[in-house]
Structure 1
Amino acid sequence: MHMFSLSIPLSLRREEWYSPWIFGNITTAMLRKEGTATIEELGRAPLPTEFGDWTYIVFGDLAHGKQHEVLVFGDASKDMLYEEADDILVRVHSSCRTSEIFHAVNCECREQLHSSMSFIRQEGRGVIVYLDQEGRGNGIVGKLAQLNKMFGWKSQEIEQKQDISSGEPMNTVKAYKESGYLPEVRDFNVAGEILKILGVRSVKLLTNNPQKIEGIASVGIGVKPVEIHITPANEIIAIDLQSKARNLKHKISEEHWKTNKS
């Protein structure tokens, strides 16, 4: 059994529910003061999937109290991923239970994950780093607040609310801000640290998000960004893609936020 001496008050545990990024910042400082490593591998196993055979690895993130998951395409039962750990095709993906488990239709997270696994299978090697950073790092409670700002019930059906200030449909960025949350608080350095532990030296990163590129590069891993675009299935997702491009500087052009019906 692995033990460490850090004692976390219950008040901080409660803070983790509502503001997980604040909890992570506090505990990171406490762990570093003790000289405790913040990321460690907890185990690995073979995993057959619809997208081929992978090695499933779990890492413990002591600073944030999370368990992050990794999929390595093929047999990674040894310490090193591949003989040559350069230019590995990588997707850093954050958990989205509403989309990936419950098939919610207000985001493209499930499609991005499946497309990334398919691309890696075609490549013949690659890694999915699946971070437990729900709601862009704001947690489940933060996501609930965002969803309440974006949607409401009308005649037993859900409709998208309007942004009062602009008259446009409410988007995720504005919904988080109006709920008292930040629209992006994920820690992508964690993904970089995990990749370093796996022996990765440089990556072809499947992303449109400049913050992911910066986070991976900040730990000394070479990054070649590879844009990944999903045709939005509905207007809700199309509006959200526009918001990502305009407010978060994601590399998404107008042609990529047109829906199948456009």
Structure 2
Amino acid sequence: MPAWYDTLQNAFTFDNVPLLISAAVTFIIGFLEYIWSFKLIRREGMAPYPVWMHTFYFAHDSSWAVIMLLAGARTGYWFFWVVGIALIVWNLFEVYNIYKVITVERQEIFGDYVKDQVTVRQAVVFIIIQLFAMYMLVNILISFMGPGSIMQWFLFTNMLIASAPGVLWLRRGVTNGTRRGTSLGLGIIILAGTINTFLPGANMWVLSMPQVFATPIFYLTGVVFVAIAGWNLYNLTRLQAVTPTEEYPRPVW
């Protein structure tokens, strides 16, 4: 068994209260980031994340769910089971968002790549191709880093959500001049989650694996990504709030 498993088992114990609190806060924020995506696609007809983030996260979360559940079955260690189940819940969130990409957002997302209106079949083909690519990307990198490298991957996913959505928000802002498809609330949640990820001496990564994460480059990375998340939020404040319409009468704050 890779050494990372032993490190995690030694760290995530019930008497390590600061780590458990930090991990709980981190997971709650992660769930909120996707709950806001639900709210936005239902109430404004647009999700706040680009489609490739949904397919990447689906490949990542399903791959790691299998790895963690198998590790839990081998060891009986509670943390592996909890992480595996949490990842399955995230997978369900991603399935919903991918479904909405196909049924609601397909024209906006794939319209530049087909001559006429995007059909459901075309959208499904695009999604399947992306999923194959993302599964190969995630799993070849896991093979390089080791199946116990879940904390390294969790860090990467948090860095991704701190930075990548802002590009989509800028493009939409130029197109329609409003915050439709995103919200100030989500921007605040993402900024808070990024600060929590890199909070000196109190984040889940340093508390669980200081020999890996308690380094200058980790905290320098934190400064950069907190700044990016803050910049994305600032850009949202410059856009007009969404005006209620008959189709979408309750925009998200």
Range class of TM-score, shorter chain: under 0.3
Greater helix share, structure number? 2
With the length of structure 1 as denominator, give the TM-score of the two structures.
0.24
Larger RCO: 1 or 2 (CA < 8 Å, sep 6+): 2
Q: Which has the higher strand share?
A: 1
**TM-score, normalising length: structure 2:** 0.24
